[in-house]
């Protein structure tokens, strides 16, 4: 019989529904509430962003879109300097805390200073990475956008996440995505260019900042800015391993696009990032549970190792169940997805998409390992992991991109993330109380593989394969879920939750 604290609340009236979605009562109910709001926020915002990108790619074309993604990738290399890992530490340190607002107000001032430093670095670097004045201007505009979006809006979302007020995070995400889609579509339909699109991003970030400030003002406390250097020092001492990990993480995430753009492969950069955008969307949708469970993991660690293990097991089971069908379905339907969304001009993106969807599956599997290392204050292990990944990725890109262009970049990224998975697994085993090897995970993996295989056999049939992807994808999902459910019943497999 399940323990009462892990059971969902009984729903008898509207008040119970409101409590289910807005209050934190039990572990399972809190996980459900967090996941619901992150699904709403990330799901809707990812869908709206995808709609915008589809129109952007189709209207601007691979070359012009390549300019935009090259500039955005270059700016993204410097984003870590506006955060230095502080956002993650805020989620951990403020998890379950009802006070400490003064500390958070000091963190805001620190983030502003770090953001200004990022702007200076991007401005200087833009003169070395390209001689194209248009791309240089796009870089500067997107740097301002990143300063607002990551340095200011991002820290507020981290605070809401720590307090497990995921509904506020969802509201901000949906509002921003909706405003960006409307503004972005207006710009590219009337004034189509990469530079004008970057102005749309900057304008929407300002609107979103105002919206976020209003939520904080009325739902939390009147906003203030404090300048307490001792608090800055305390948080920076905790976050520096994550800062370096984030720096090297940004390197292996965006250096491939920057390299291709620097070597004049602007069109190839457009093809590559078009594929990458779709796989990231798939990852965001399936990886929602990771974000929703992180504050729960933090709170569980403060209670007992047993609770930490139970929540981590739950997360790992879900990631296994989600990763296999995402990879198998993505590889199978890649030609249909790319051609339907972007058109025949983006056929070169198909193979890159198939390689990158495998990489996203690997990321799903190791996110729980990364999260528990942060929870138990082992950020330094993440730093060494990401450092090794960045070095390998840069070397692989230098070798593979000149020979295989975007496909070389995709292969380098896949190998890098597989290495990161192995290192995180090793560190989790050695430096955390978590036991990552469970016989139950093997049985779940077997069920996921068998169900994915049956799904592949069904969706690869011409009658299903050549349907509209909005029909073939749901059919594949339905087949997988039915097969896995039957496997669960036949093996009497029960789950942690």
DSSP 120-141: HHHHHHHHHH---HHHHHHHHH
Q: In this structure, are 243 and 167 located in the same domain?
A: yes
Buried b (16+ CB within 10 A) or exposed e, 467-477: eebeebbeebe
Structural domain boundaries enclosing 378: 15-437
9 within domain boundaries? no
Q: In this structure, are 461 and 340 located in the same domain?
A: no
Q: In this structure, are 79 and 205 located in the same domain?
A: yes
Q: In this structure, are 110 and 172 located in the same domain?
A: yes
> Rounded to an integer, what distance in angstroms lies between the CA atom of residue 27 and that of residue 29?
6
User: pTM for the full model?
Assistant: 0.75
Q: In this structure, are 306 and 393 located in the same domain?
A: yes
Mean pLDDT of 208-216: 88
Q: In this structure, are 180 and 301 located in the same domain?
A: yes
177 within domain boundaries? yes
Q: From the DSSP assignment, how many helices (H) and strands (E) are in the chain?
A: 17, 0
Domain count for the chain, please give it.
2
Q: Is the pLDDT of residue 265 over 50?
A: yes
Q: Give per-residue pLDDT as tens, 391-406.
A: 999 999 999 999 999 9
Q: In this structure, are 110 and 227 located in the same domain?
A: yes
CB 406 within 8 Å of CB 261: no
CB 462 within 8 Å of CB 423: no
**Which of 399, 421, 437 is the C-terminal boundary of a domain?**
437
**Residue of 130, 148, 147, 155 lying closest to 74 (CA atoms):** 130
- pLDDT confidence of 2, banded at 50, 70, 90? very low
Q: In this structure, are 269 and 290 located in the same domain?
A: yes
Give pLDDT, residue 1.
39
Q: Is the pLDDT of residue 7 over 60?
A: no
3 within domain boundaries? no
122 within domain boundaries? yes
Q: In this structure, are 62 and 83 located in the same domain?
A: yes
414 within domain boundaries? yes
Q: In this structure, are 114 and 73 located in the same domain?
A: yes
Q: In this structure, are 398 and 419 located in the same domain?
A: yes
10 within domain boundaries? no
CB 362 within 8 Å of CB 417: yes
6 within domain boundaries? no
Q: Give per-residue pLDDT as tens, 109-149.
A: 888 888 888 889 998 988 888 888 899 999 999 999 988 88
461 within domain boundaries? yes
Q: In this structure, are 423 and 458 located in the same domain?
A: no
């Amino acid at each position: 019989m399940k323990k009462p604290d892990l059971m969902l609340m009984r729903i008898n009236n509207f008040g119970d529904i409101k409590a289910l979605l807005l209050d934190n009562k039990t572990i399972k109910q809190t996980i459900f509430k967090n996941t619901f709001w992150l699904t709403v926020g990330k799901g809707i915002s990812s869908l709206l962003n995808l709609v915008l990108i589809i129109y952007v790619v189709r209207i601007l074309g691979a070359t012009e879109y390549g300019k935009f993604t090259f500039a955005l990738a270059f700016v993204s290399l410097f984003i870590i300097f506006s955060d230095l890992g502080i956002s993650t530490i805020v989620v951990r340190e403020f998890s379950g805390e009802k006070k400490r607002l003064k500390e958070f107000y000091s963190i805001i001032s620190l983030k502003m200073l770090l953001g200004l430093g990022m702007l200076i670095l991007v401005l200087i670097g833009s003169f070395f990475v390209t001689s194209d004045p248009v791309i240089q201007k796009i870089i500067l505009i997107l740097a301002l956008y990143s300063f607002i979006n990551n340095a200011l809006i991002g820290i507020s979302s981290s605070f809401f996440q720590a307090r497990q007020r995921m509904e506020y995070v969802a509201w901000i995400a949906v509002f921003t995505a909706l405003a960006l889609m409307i503004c972005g579509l207006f710009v590219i339909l009337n004034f189509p260019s990469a530079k004008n699109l970057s102005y749309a991003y900057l304008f929407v970030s300002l609107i979103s900042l105002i919206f976020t400030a209003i939520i904080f003002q009325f739902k939390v406390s009147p906003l203030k800015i404090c300048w307490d250097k001792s608090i800055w020092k305390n948080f920076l001492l905790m976050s520096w391993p994550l800062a370096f990990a984030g720096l090297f993480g940004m390197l292996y995430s965006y250096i491939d696009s920057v390299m291709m753009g620097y070597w004049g492969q602007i069109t190839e950069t457009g093809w590559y990032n078009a594929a990458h955008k779709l796989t990231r969307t798939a990852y965001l949708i399936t990886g929602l549970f990771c974000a929703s469970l992180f504050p729960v993991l933090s709170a569980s660690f403060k209670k007992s190792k047993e609770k930490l293990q139970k929540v981590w097991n739950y997360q790992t089971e879900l990631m296994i169940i989600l990763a296999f069908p995402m990879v198998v379905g993505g590889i199978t339907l890649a030609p249909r997805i790319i051609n339907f969304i972007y058109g025949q001009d983006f056929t070169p993106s198909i193979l890159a998409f198939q390689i990158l969807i495998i990489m996203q599956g690997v990321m799903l599997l190791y996110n729980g390992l990364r999260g528990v290392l942060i929870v138990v204050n082992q950020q330094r292990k993440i730093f060494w992991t990401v450092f090794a990944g960045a070095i390998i990725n840069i070397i692989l890109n230098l070798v593979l991109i000149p020979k295989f262009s975007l496909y070389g970049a995709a292969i380098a990224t896949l190998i890098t993330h597989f290495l990161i998975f192995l290192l995180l697994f090793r560190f989790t085993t050695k430096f955390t109380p978590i036991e990552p090897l469970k016989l139950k995970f093997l049985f779940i993996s077997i069920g996921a593989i068998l169900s994915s295989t049956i799904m592949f056999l069904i969706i690869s049939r011409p009658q299903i394969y050549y349907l509209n992807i909005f029909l073939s994808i749901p059919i594949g999902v339905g087949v997988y879920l039915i097969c896995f459910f039957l496997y669960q019943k036949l093996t009497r497999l029960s789950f942690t939750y």
